[in-house]
Structure 1
Amino acid sequence: MLRTGLAMARGRWSGFAGAFTALCLGVALMSMTALVHASASPRVPDRYAGTGVLVRTPVAEQGEGFFLEDRPWSPEAVTALTARLRGIPGVTAAVADRSFYAQAVVAGRPVPGDLRGHGWSSVALAPYGPVEGRPPARDGEVVLDRALGISPGSPVTLLTAAGPEPYTVTGTLAAPGFHVTDAAAARFSGGVRVIGLVTGAGADLARVEGMAREIVGDGGEVLAGDARAALEPRADERVRWIGTQVLTGMAAVSGFVSVFVVASTFAFGVVQRRREFGLLRLVGATPRQVRRMVYGEALAVGAAAAAAGAALGIVLAPVFGGLLVEAGFEPPGFSVRIEAWPPVAAFGTGLGVALLAVWSASRRAGRVRPLEALREAEADRRPMTRARWISGAAFTLLGTGCAAATAGAGADAIVNYSLYAAMALILGLTLLAPAIVPPVVRVLSRPLLRTRGATGMLVREEMLAAVRRTSSTAAPVLVTVGFAVLVTGMTQTTAGAFALGRTTAVGAEAVVVPDGTPGLSDAAVTAAGGVSLLPTTVYGEGGPPLEAAGITPEALARSAGRLKVLEGSLAAGRDGGNGRDPAGNADRTGRDRESTARGGGDSGAGGSGDGGVVVARWLADERGWRAGRTVSLAFEDGRTETLAVAAVVADSPAPLLLPRGTVRAHDPSALTREVLLDGPVRGEVPGGRVLGAEAYARNAGDEEDRLVWVFTLILVGMAVGYTGLAVANTMVMATAGRAADFRVLRLSGATSRQVIGMVSAESAAVTGLGTALGMAVAFPALLGMRSGLSEQIGAAAALVVPWPVVLVVVGGCLALAVGAAVLPALAAVRRAR
């Protein structure tokens, strides 16, 4: 019977066209995304490509989606390590690599690109080639990228964390970034995380690597060869992580919808072929043989579709990789490598999907009785089985419960509960469709009874008589519309709610934000006035890195009304910092800050005796910190301070709030994200612009919201494309099997136009039915999510549904349904003449 199934698939290829197309596209997407994912591995950064052996600081485990820098070595450890590593035979230099924020200003505007400055000695770690001009020899001199078009001897303004500073270009390199003297880099940067070992000609790299491991021990990690790719910048790592989410979502959607389309195709085919299966049973075929025949059909379709899809994925992968780079889901320089295993794995997965999807249909085919071969009536008998009733009711109740739970869910669970509710309701209503369709059709189709002619009555009765056919054709529309409304509405409602929350939380007339820069310098903060936070990263005793922020006494006093104190007092946290300047350090010279970082007694630094630490409750519970006790924190420069916990609060802008002077003393390259204003700015803000509170709320999430919206449209487009195939395929199969009905109508006096009109009206009615059920699935989940978001942000969030996108989806379903039904109907009507 397996061979019979293969022959049947060849003879009935038109009935399997939809399943073939869906599976082919699904395997193509799996092959393409697998190739892109396999190619999205880290690569050795260009600036380290000229060094065979590198040493980095120990790596700390971080949670999913966190990309904070690892703890740097202390200055004393760097000095000791470089001295010992320099003594390895064959090593000519041990270079402590330092990085800091630097950005050129040309024609009054910051220039985008690589915004990192380095010490001149770091040039030895990369194969950049000769310098045109000379290296920097003193403060105020810089070697920069030749691509900027600035010749040696020319003046240039560099933005640093302190503000704009004048420099003289002494040379240019065919390399990104800015290179200053090592002494200047040490002042501008934080701690050292990478030491590069420059080796002489003929040096034994394996021996150098081994000796470096003995010297470093547990105090770091030695990297050589391809392992150097672990030094990929955190920003590129984050972009790759986002790209992985996109690829995973695409693969999941393609797999799920492929199963749905193939399963629905074979299930509907079994319903239409009951007489055929009954005839096989009548001539002696056993239920097992019938099941094997259906599996043979699926095997033939699956093998051909999977092979075609795997080949198509190889062709599309490089194009798709380029699109991901343009959209911001992969880092610049990413390219796709063609390997054998992704298309082979996609082929096997596609074949497995085909056989899995046909399991239920094969069992139904095996249960067809021999007397079905003699049955003449087409009306459905008992379209709902007991298992379908139980499963449908269970999924519907589960979806309703999840929708209700969304209203009171926490911030992290709102989206998950909404998705679970929609998925459960889609499955539940799809399973219960044969029971739901008749009463819904009777209610919605009553206006058709009052139309002129018999078309309305025929449409109504056809839908009621063939419940399974109506349910099968409405189900893909239900899935398409429900998914589109839910995902797009969820994305837009969440973005709008968070924007409203930001507007409420700002509590200021205006906000100064970066303009062409990654953040605001101290000069910009001072010019703006207002209050702000200075973000940084700190490292506790064990555990992952922690996000922290420096805050001035004024900013802490202003936030006191929104910080619910659970332990201690915010007054202790206001003792440190510098109250005279918004930047918290304008009265300090570089020598003063250096002294403070070493543990000096500048009261503005807010050290262990001058200021306190404000800790968020979740972090205090996690680390066991309580108000009044002291904690040891390592900072961005590698130095450690002991600070007192002033207060534990329910929530705060950052897990740790520190005196701003302390943060600046230990993190010379930190940049401020925004400054809140209650009045006009004090002066010109270099690298910044002023926004109103509402404009800031919309602007604050622009890039992230853009990536999420692009991701949403990709998923919706894929789902619509797949379910569009299901709509078209089901309509073609349903209409092609009604040739006898059309012949009866023609013999009864109906014109060809009337028959085609009836088919078109029935297709439109089925699309409307699926759309109504899809809306019924999506809106409970969206309303529950809106309620939860409103409670979270403390304001009434609006339900935002992008109706233009939804109308395009519904219009596409309608066009596909009508077109797929009318074309075979025309052919059938012509044959009936």
Structure 2
Amino acid sequence: MTFLLASLRERRSTFVGAFVALCLGAALFTMSALILLSGGAGVPERYAAAPVVVHSGAADPATFLEAAPFAPADTERLARRLGALPGVRAAVPDRSFAAQALDGGRPVGEQRPGDRLGRGWSSAALAPYRLVSGRAPRQADEVVVDRSLGFATGRRITLLTASGPGAFTVSGTVGGPGYYVTDARAAQLAGGVRVIALRLDDPHPDPGTVAAVASAAGRAVDGTGRVLHGEEREALAAGADEEVRWIGGQVVTAMTALSAFVTVFVVSSAFAFTVARRRREFGLLRTVGASPRQVRRAVYGEGLAIGAVASGAGVLIGTLGAPGFGAVLVGTGFQPRGFAVEARPWVSALSFVVGVAVAFAGVWAASRRASRIGPMEALREAAVDDRPLPPVRRAIGLLCVALGVGAAIASAAVEPGDMITTALLTAAGLITGVALLMPALVPPLARLATRPLARRRGATGMLVRAWLLTAVRRTASTVAPVLATVAFTVLITANTETTAQAYERREAAAVRAEGTVVPDGTPGLTDAEVRRIDGSAILPTLIHGGPGRSPLKAIGVEPGPYAEVHGPVETVHGDLAAVSEPGTMAVSRSGLAALGASAGGAVPVTFEDGSTASLRIVAVVEDRHLPYGALLSRALVREHDPSALTSAVHRTGAPRAVSGGREISVEEYAGLADAEEDRLIRVFTVLLVAVSAGYTGIAVVSTSLMSTADRAGDLRVLRRSGASSRQLLGALAVETVLVVLIGTVTGMLAALPSLLGIRAGLSGTLGVAVPLVVPWAPVGVAVGATLLLALAATLLPARRVMRG
């Protein structure tokens, strides 16, 4: 113990990098675990005053699409039976539809695609939203609006719905979002009902009363729907919110996994360098009788001591910082609004254990290497480190490289959704393998890098070359974090941009039109506006197969204009033109599998109004030619989804001014179609680059500081031998630049196989030529920042040493 404390005090500057990395790793793990284990955004506000609800079914966990609505007959039957239960004041079928007011021809309040803010007046009480002024709507052309819109009672406004603009009179205002019409008008404008909410006689019921009503409701529905009460009502959150939570979970998980990998990388690099510096010390310990086991335990003790203190500090930081991190995720769109982090003491305890385990993993290899140092090392005077690479390390390094190359090859064959995983596996394998083999790679790379210096006369070139070649492990330990920084930056940023370019090219190549009209601040384009545009309109909807089948995204189109715009669509079976026949549809290959149907056969399909019909599959299309599960006639979709809004019109005729819409190029639409997803991916990219570059930046500073401290004696000798401070600092600067150059080149080469595999996979999957896009700006920033950190961590301590 005395030796351990003395060792830590003497080398506290040596272990700063490992301490900081472990502290940040424990903090990030704690925050991530708390966020992943926290609940959702709570009960949606629009059902806050409905203690018990009956839901048609949960959103599909694989697609995050809503379950099928109740059948129309079931809606009326359940509403009557539930409304007659003891303690129930009213059973309210919650009907929603797309609605947005116009003011001076411009939409009021920007809405997202898919927003349905229109409801029947009975639904206002479920929030509850109370009248602020005026009265409830009584006529079909009356509406109650949110007071924040600024419309006075009695004013005539234009309200956009799926069918087009209509004139309404504002009969009142409420203190919450939405447009509320009569229940009868809502039934005409809305599709099916997924939620029947119960208002109780007691406005503030106790838990026992709520449970009793829920039990009675369960008997009344008799398996037709799910009865939810209390916190169970969180399941009423929109599928889009659940998808956001899933994406956020993936982001946090990836950050944590990357953090764990880089933490082990930093800690192992720091301790490997430390062991290399202390060979004579460990040799002396062996000389005075220390056994290999005792040496190994000494190194473990140092690592675990640092791990315990760093993990404790990190857990404290993570626990206190989790709410703030959760707020950042909400602000960037990776968690839904209303999300809050829940405290869990056992998570902090687990994080501490994981932090210590990571420290143990980081010092494992270093402790084994230290235990193999023999007593004769105490007699070594030369600082030349030209020992051959141990066979075990060489074998493990080659195996990691082989695994990385194998993962890169697999990237060309896996599904697009799995490419990120294989890309990270490729990077982890190649970075680890190259780092392990770096002592063998440094001599040839150093000779190549210093060849221009060797041709010039002067002491600087000779000194730099000697430093690089006579301290191979020191050079390798400094190159490794630079390699990791560049490799992760190139991989993550290039993967993001290459994938985005691939999908944009696919979308642009698939459409032949003069331009594309898209919504402008509205949730979609109305039928009235679509009829004014010559081209192919896309009317999105959902269809539902039989029990246990996932919902499918479908579109309603006119087959003729659709084929004209999208060119001859290759079908695996049948003819796309046959979709114009009644009771038919076309599906993609994946859609056919999701429905559990066969080409040419008929399959029962439930629509958004809750009705069910049998549709015959007249065509099957390759997935890359039909990015939707199914394709139906526009008339069929409109018949069964009265609230559906057109998402885009590919214009082939003369341009037209469109209310609530704007025209963009086909290429811009290709990028706009996934704009929100691309934004999230780019934010995700920044977070991953920040995590990887931040950690490896710590390693760069740590190894540079240790490297300078390791040759403090050499610098003093050279200074007393006549070398000026300027010459020595210049030589150190040149050496640092060359080390960063070697790390940059090897990092780019380590990332290249993964990127080539991703490009090949995307080209094969999408059927278009995919360019390899490397955004050099962030790569340049990462390299420049790494170089500045390395220079500062090398030159500032060296200057202080030479002055001493």
Who is 1:445 aligned against?
Answer: 450
Cα distance, 1:360 vs. partner?
Answer: 1.3
Residue matched to 1:138: 139
Determine whether 1:519 maps to 2:492.
no
Match of 2:71 among 68, 71, 74: 74
Which ranges of structure 2 fall in alignment gaps of 5 or more residues? none
* Partner deviation per Cα, 1:769-792 (whole Å, 9 max, x = no partner): 100101111223323433443344
> What is the deviation of 1:451?
2.8
Q: Is the 8 A contact 1:477 1:771 kept in 2?
A: yes
* Aligned: 1:397 with 2:402: yes
- Counterpart for residue 51 of structure 2: 52
Match of 1:539 in 2: 544
CA distance in 2, matches of 1:401, 1:252: 20
Deviation of 1:184 after TM superposition, in Å, equals 0.9
Residues 6 and 296, structure 1, Cα contact 8 Å, conserved in 2: no
Corresponding position: 1:187 with 2:188: yes
2:661 paired with 1:660: no
Correspondence for 1:630: 602
1:236-269 residue CA offsets vs partner (Å, 9 max, x unmatched): 2222222222211221222211111111111111
1:570 aligned to which of 556, 564, 576: 576
Which secondary structure does the structure 2 equivalent of 1:197 belong to? strand
Q: Displacement, 1:518?
A: 2.3
Q: CA deviation at 1:340?
A: 2.9
- SS of the residue 1:358 aligns to: helix
Instruction: Measure the CA separation in 1 of the matches of 2:497 and 2:599.
Output: 41
1:556/1:574 contact within 8 Å kept: no
Give the equivalent residue in structure 2 for 1:548: 554
Counterparts of 1:210 and 1:413, CA distance in 2: 43
Residue 717 of structure 2 corresponds to: 744
Distance in 2, Cα, partners of 1:516 & 1:704: 18
Give the distance between the partners of 1:345 and 1:422, measured in 2 at CA: 28
Correspondence 1:283-432 to 2 at 5 A: 283-407=288-412, 411-432=416-437
Residue of 84, 89, 98 corresponding to 1:87: 84
Q: Does 1:98 align with 2:95?
A: yes
Does the 8 Å contact 2:513/2:565 carry over to 1? no
Change (3 A) 1:414 1:34: closer
* Paired residue secondary structure (1:527): coil
State the Cα distance separating 1:165 from its structure 2 match. 1.6
Go from structure 1 to structure 2 and tell me whether the alpha carbon gap of 1:420 and 1:352 turns closer, same or farther (over 3 Å shift). Answer: closer
Q: How many angstroms does 1:406 deviate by?
A: 4.1
Of residues 648, 654, 672 in structure 2, which corresponds to 1:699?
672
Asked if 1:28 corresponds to 2:34, the answer is no
What residue in structure 1 maps to residue 197 of structure 2?
196
**What is aligned with 1:645?**
617
Displacement of 1:156:
1.9
User: Of the candidates 768, 791, 802, which is equivalent to residue 818 of structure 1?
Assistant: 791
Task: State whether residues 290 and 366 of structure 1, in contact with CA within 8 Å, keep that contact through their aligned partners in structure 2.
Answer: yes
1:484 partner amino acid: T
1:796 maps to amino acid: A
Question: Is contact 2:386-2:470 (8 Å) kept?
Answer: no
Work out the CA distance in 1 between the residues paired with 2:419 and 2:253: 21
Shift of 1:529: 2.4
Pairwise CA distance, 1:662? 1.1
Q: Distance in 1 between matches of 2:413 and 2:85?
A: 62
CA separation of 1:415/1:342 partners in 2, compared to 1, >3 Å: closer, same or farther? Answer: closer
1:253 partnered with 2:258: yes
Query: What's the counterpart of residue 3 of structure 2?
Result: 4
2:645 pairs with 1:671: yes
Q: Within 2, Cα distance between the matches of 1:530 and 1:827?
A: 74
Match for residue 264 of structure 1? 269
1:216 aligns with 2:217: no
* TM-score with structure 1 setting the length: 0.92
> Counterpart of 1:13?
12
Instruction: State the AA in 2 paired with 1:485.
Output: V
Q: Distance in 1 between matches of 2:724 and 2:265?
A: 37
Residues 579-631 of structure 1: CA distance to partner in whole angstroms, max 9, x if unpaired?
xxxxxxxxxxxxxxxxxxxxxxxxxxx3x3xxx21122233245452343221
The secondary structure found in structure 1 opposite 2:702 is helix
Deviation track 1:292-338 (CA, whole Å, cap 9, x = no partner) reads 21122112211221122222223433333332222222223334444
> What is the rounded CA distance, in whole Å, between the counterparts of 2:59 and 2:746 in structure 1?
49
Equivalents in 2 of 1:167, 1:327: separation in Å?
A: 37
SS of the equivalent of 1:94 reads strand
Displacement after TM superposition at 1:550 (Å): 1.3
Shift of 1:115: 4.5
- 2:31 and 2:246 map into 1 onto residues whose CA distance is 17
Consecutive unaligned residues of structure 1, counting only runs of 5 or more, are 576-605
Alignment: residue pair count: 793
Q: Residues 192-231 of structure 1: CA distance to partner in whole angstroms, max 9, x if unpaired?
A: 1111111112862222111111112321111111111111
Q: CA deviation at 1:443?
A: 1.5
Match of 2:165 in 1: 164
Deviation at 1:556, TM superposition (A): 4.5
| Number of the residue aligned with 2:738 | 765
Q: Percent identity between the aligned chains? A: 50
Cα shift at 1:412: 4.3
- Find the residue that maps to 1:15 and give its secondary structure: coil
Cα gap change, 1:794 to 1:60, in 2 (>3 Å): closer
Contact 1:163 1:686 in 2 (8 A): no
Call closer, same or farther: CA 1:410–1:316 in 2, change over 3 Å: closer
1:635 Cα offset (Å): 0.6
1:780 counterpart letter in structure 2: P
Kept after mapping to 1: 8 A contact 2:41/2:337:
no
Alignment of 1:586-625 (within 5 A): 606=582, 608=583, 612-621=584-593, 623-625=595-597
Report how far residue 68 of structure 1 moved. 0.7
Deviations 1:357-384 (A, max 9, x none): 1111111111111221221122124341
Question: Aligned to 1:234, which of 239, 251, 258?
Answer: 239
User: What one-letter code is carried by the residue in structure 2 that aligns with 1:433?
Assistant: M
1:498 is matched with which residue?
Answer: 503
Residues 262 and 357 in structure 1, CA contact (< 8 A), matched pair in contact too: yes
Match of 2:654 in 1: 680
1:830 aligns with 2:792: no
Q: Is the 8 A contact 1:557 1:574 kept in 2?
A: no
How far apart are 1:574 and its partner, in Å? 2.7
Return the offset for 1:50. Answer: 0.9
Residue type at the aligned position of 1:158: L
Q: Kindly state the Cα deviation for residue 507 of structure 1 after the two structures are TM-superposed.
A: 1.4
Amino acid at match of 1:738: R
Contact 1:541–1:633 (8 Å) recurs in 2: yes
1-structure distance, mates of 2:140, 2:384: 90
Q: Note if contact 1:383-1:467 (Cα within 8 Å) is conserved in structure 2.
A: no
- Is contact 2:536–2:565 with CA below 8 Å preserved after alignment? no
Shift of the 373–718 alpha-carbon distance from structure 1 to 2, 3 Å rule, reads: same
SS in 2 for 1:219: coil
Deviation >6 Å, runs of 4+: none
1:785 aligns with 2:743: no
| Inter-partner Cα distance in structure 2 for 1:726 and 1:760 | 18
CA contact (8 A) 1:560 1:570 kept: no
Amino acid at match of 1:633: V
1: CA distance, partners of 2:373 / 2:674: 57
Deviation at 1:477, TM superposition (A): 0.3
Q: Which residue of the partner structure matches residue 464 of structure 2? A: 459
Going from structure 1 to structure 2, the CA distance change for 1:801 and 1:330 (only over 3 Å counts) comes to same
Counterpart position of 2:128 = 127
Say whether the 8 Å CA contact 2:511–2:566 is kept in structure 1: no
Aligned CA distance change for structure 1 residues 793 and 641 (closer, same or farther; 3 Å): same
